[in-house]
Structure 1
Amino acid sequence: MPPRRSSAFYAALFAVLMCVAACSSNHDRRLGAAEPAKAPALGALPAGMVHRIGGAPEGIVFDATTNLIAVAVQDPNRLLLLDGTTLAVKRAVPLPGTVRHLQLAGPGGPVLVPVESVDELVEVSLPGGAIRMTKVGRQPHDATAASGGQIIVGNEFSKSISILTGGVVRATLPGPRQPGGVSGDGTTVAVVDVGDFTVSTFDLTRRTRTAVLPAGKGPTHGVLASGHRLIVADTRGDAILEFGLHPLAALGRVALAGKPYGMAFDATTDTVWVTLTARNEVVALDVSTPTPREIARYPTVRQPNTVAVSPGSHTVWVTGTATGDLQVINR
C-alpha cells in the first residue's frame, strides 16, 4: 500500500505550482510588448494597385460619409486626407509628431490622431482638416470614441487611460500596465494591455476597471465587432482572439501565422481584415459565426502595418510602411 501524503505535502506542492506559474508569467512579461514583424522582401506582387505616397505611412482609416481616406505619414509629419476614389490629396494637415494608429470618432469624423512623440491627442475634422489638440499622458498609442462624446486615450507609458470630452481631460484612470489598443463600446472601453498580455474592460460611468482576462502571448490591438465583441490580434502568439464584452469573456481563438497586427472591421459584412506583417499579406475573416473563418487572402506591399476597409469590403487599403506605398485592393 503506497504511503499516504499529508496535507502539508499537498500545500507545499500547491505553493510550488503557484510559484512556477508566477515565474512563467513574469518571464512572459520580460519579453515586453509585441511589435509587428520586420517584414521580409516581397515574395509576390501586391494585389490591386500600388501608389507611392512617401513618408513611411502608418495609421489609416476610411470615412464613407466624406469618402476620405486619412493616412498618417512622416518626413514631415502630416495627416493626408485623400479622395477615396482617386487618391488625390485633398488636405495635408501638419502634425506635431509621429503617429502609428488612427480611429474615427464616428461617421463624418473627426479623425482621432494620438501623437506619441509629443503626448498629444489631435482631433482632425472632416472634410476641412481643422484640428483640436489636447495634452494627455505619456506616449498616447491609440484613441477611441465612446458614448456621450467621450474620447478614450491609451497612454502607453503612463499606465493609464485618459477620458476626454470637448478637448478637455475629465479623468485619468490607472490600471493597465502598458495600454495598447483601445476600443469603445457605449459606456464600456476595452483596453489591450501589451505589457501584461491581457484585455481589460472599464466602466466609464463608474470610472473603474470591471474585469481583466489573459489575451495570449503578446496582444497588440483589437477591433470592435458586432454583438459587443472584441477581436484581438495576438501578434506574438500568431492568433486572433475573440472576447465578449458584457461581461468580459473569452469566446475563442483562431491560429493565424505571420504576426497579425493591423486590423479593420467592416460592419456591413461582419468581416475583420488583418495584416500579416511577417508574410506581407492581408487576410479577411468572417466573424458572423461563433468561429471566425478565413474568406480571402491577398499579397500586400512591404511592412503592412495598418489597413482600412470600405463598407461591404469592396475596397481595402493597406499601408506599406517600409516603402512609402499605399495599396488599393478593389474586390
Structure 2
Amino acid sequence: MRGRWQAMGGLVLLLAGCAGTAGMEGVVALIPTGQWPEDVVFDAETQTIFVADEGSATVTAIDAGSRTVRGTIRLQTRARHLAVAAGRLYAPNEHSQFVGVYDARTLGEIGRLAVGGQPHGLAVDASRGRLLVGNEEDGTATLVDTTTLRPIAVIPVGRGPGGVTADVGSGRGFVVSVKEDRVTAVDLTTGTILGSLPVGAGPTHLRANSRTGLVYVCNTEADSLTVLDGRALAVRATIPVGRYPFPITIEEARGRAFVVNSRDATLSVIAEESLRVMETRPIPRNVSSLAVDPARGVLYLALKSDNRLAILPAPGTRP
C-alpha cells in the first residue's frame, strides 16, 4: 500500500495515494469533524472553517492555517446549514424554531433569533444587517435584523423552502421552493417579494455571485444547473452536468462555480464567462457540502459518511 501519513490534531491520517481509495488521489489533508458533517462554510476574516455536524448537533471550528480543530459549538438541535459574516456565525436549530448567533472568534453564543418552523437554509448580508432564513415547515422565509436580532418580515416563498443565498451587491436574497421548482427573489432591506422564476426539477441548493449577480441553482432531478440573472430576474442558461448535482460553491473573483455530481462522485467546474463546463474530475464520495478558500487555492469538502473534512486543491491551482 502506498500512501502518505501525516500527524494532525493528535491523530495520524492516511492521505492521498492510498491504493483503492477512489477519488482521494488529490486530497492533501483529512480533518476529523463531528457526526455526519452536513454543511461547511469558510470565514476569511477569522481564517476558520465551520462544519455543521448534523448527527451530533454540533459545529466544528477548524483553523484554516494549522488545519486543526480549535473548538466545538454544541447546539440544542441539529443544524444542516450555516452562514458566517462580520465576525458572526449563524446556525439554525432545526427543531427549536430559532437561529443561534455565535462569535466566530470565541465561539461563544451571542443570542438567538426567533424564526419559523424547521429553519433550514440561510444567508447573511452583513452590509445591510440582514439575515434571510428559509422555514421549511411553514413555506416562508424570515428576514431578520442582525443588529437588533429581531424579525423584520415573514415572507411567503412557496412550498418546501430549501436553499437560500444572497447577492450582497444588489441587496437581494433568493429562496428555492423545492416542491414547486421555483426561486423567489426578495429585497433584503424591506422583505418585499421582487419576483419568482422557474428552474429545473428538484432544485435544492443555490449560490449567488455578488460581483455579477448570477445565481446558480442545482436541479438534482434534471442533472443540470439553472443560471439566473438575479438583477434582471431572468433565466440566463441551463447547463448540463453530472448526476444529482449537489452541493455547489462559487469562487467570485475568478468567476467559477464548483458543483458536486453526487451520484458520480465527480466535480464539475463552470466558467461564468461562457456558462459551460470547463472540467470534470473525480472527488471523494458522499460529499455533502463544499467551500472554496481562494487565497490558499483549496476546496473544503464535508465527507458525510466519513465524519471528516477533506482538503483538495481547487482546479487550476497547485497543492
Shared fold (TM-score, shorter chain, > 0.5): yes
- Picking from 176, 181, 194, the partner of 2:163 is 181
Aligned residue number for residue 78 of structure 2: 98
* TM superposition outliers: structure 1 runs of 4+ over 6 Å: none
Following the alignment from structure 2 to structure 1, what is the Cα–Cα distance between the partners of residues 311 and 248? 16
Whether contact under 8 Å (2:291, 2:300) holds in the other structure is yes
Aligned residue number for residue 314 of structure 1: 297
Aligned residue number for residue 20 of structure 1: none
Q: Deviations over 1:262-291 (max 9, x none)?
A: 11111121111212211223332221x142
Q: Provide the aligned C-alpha RMSD in A.
A: 2.0
Following the alignment from structure 1 to structure 2, what is the Cα–Cα distance between the partners of residues 257 and 75? 28
Kindly indicate whether residue 306 of structure 2 is the aligned counterpart of residue 323 of structure 1. yes
Following the alignment from structure 1 to structure 2, what is the Cα–Cα distance between the partners of residues 317 and 160? 30
Change (3 A) 1:312 1:284: farther
Kindly indicate whether residue 154 of structure 2 is the aligned counterpart of residue 172 of structure 1. yes
Following the alignment from structure 2 to structure 1, what is the Cα–Cα distance between the partners of residues 155 and 74? 30
Kindly indicate whether residue 176 of structure 2 is the aligned counterpart of residue 197 of structure 1. no
Q: Deviations over 1:213-268 (max 9, x none)?
A: 21101111111113111011111111011000122100001111221111111112
Larger radius of gyration: 1
Change (3 A) 1:69 1:178: same
Among the aligned pairs, what percent are the same residue? 24
- Picking from 124, 135, 156, the partner of 1:145 is 124
Following the alignment from structure 2 to structure 1, what is the Cα–Cα distance between the partners of residues 274 and 143? 32
- Picking from 238, 262, 268, the partner of 2:253 is 268
Kindly indicate whether residue 59 of structure 2 is the aligned counterpart of residue 79 of structure 1. yes
Following the alignment from structure 2 to structure 1, what is the Cα–Cα distance between the partners of residues 26 and 157? 42
Kindly indicate whether residue 38 of structure 2 is the aligned counterpart of residue 53 of structure 1. no
Kindly indicate whether residue 234 of structure 2 is the aligned counterpart of residue 252 of structure 1. no
Whether contact under 8 Å (2:81, 2:120) holds in the other structure is yes
Following the alignment from structure 1 to structure 2, what is the Cα–Cα distance between the partners of residues 241 and 111? 29
Kindly indicate whether residue 275 of structure 2 is the aligned counterpart of residue 291 of structure 1. yes
Change (3 A) 1:177 1:42: farther
Q: Deviations over 1:290-331 (max 9, x none)?
A: 42332352321x310100110257111111111212111134
Q: CA deviation at 1:184?
A: 1.8
Q: Deviations over 1:26-49 (max 9, x none)?
A: xxxxxxxxxxxxxxx974435313
- Picking from 17, 42, 48, the partner of 1:62 is 42
Change (3 A) 1:65 1:85: same
Whether contact under 8 Å (2:143, 2:151) holds in the other structure is yes
Whether contact under 8 Å (1:268, 1:312) holds in the other structure is no
1:214 counterpart letter in structure 2: P
Q: CA deviation at 1:74?
A: 4.3
Q: Does the residue aligned with 1:58 lie in a helix, a strand or coil?
A: strand
Aligned residue number for residue 133 of structure 1: 112
Whether contact under 8 Å (2:204, 2:246) holds in the other structure is yes
Whether contact under 8 Å (1:275, 1:304) holds in the other structure is yes
Which structure has greater strand proportion? 2
Change (3 A) 1:304 1:85: same
Aligned residues: 287
Aligned residue number for residue 11 of structure 1: none
Kindly indicate whether residue 225 of structure 2 is the aligned counterpart of residue 240 of structure 1. yes
Following the alignment from structure 1 to structure 2, what is the Cα–Cα distance between the partners of residues 244 and 133? 33
Larger CA deviation: 173-182 vs 246-255: 173-182
Whether contact under 8 Å (1:192, 1:198) holds in the other structure is yes
Which structure has greater helix proportion? 1
Aligned residue number for residue 213 of structure 1: 197
2:105 counterpart letter in structure 1: P
Q: Which runs of 5+ in 2 are unaligned?
A: 1-19
Change (3 A) 1:155 1:46: farther
Greater relative contact order (Cα < 8 A, sep 6+): 1
Aligned residue number for residue 262 of structure 2: 277
Kindly indicate whether residue 116 of structure 2 is the aligned counterpart of residue 123 of structure 1. no
TM-score, normalised relative to structure 2: 0.84
Following the alignment from structure 1 to structure 2, what is the Cα–Cα distance between the partners of residues 109 and 53? 22
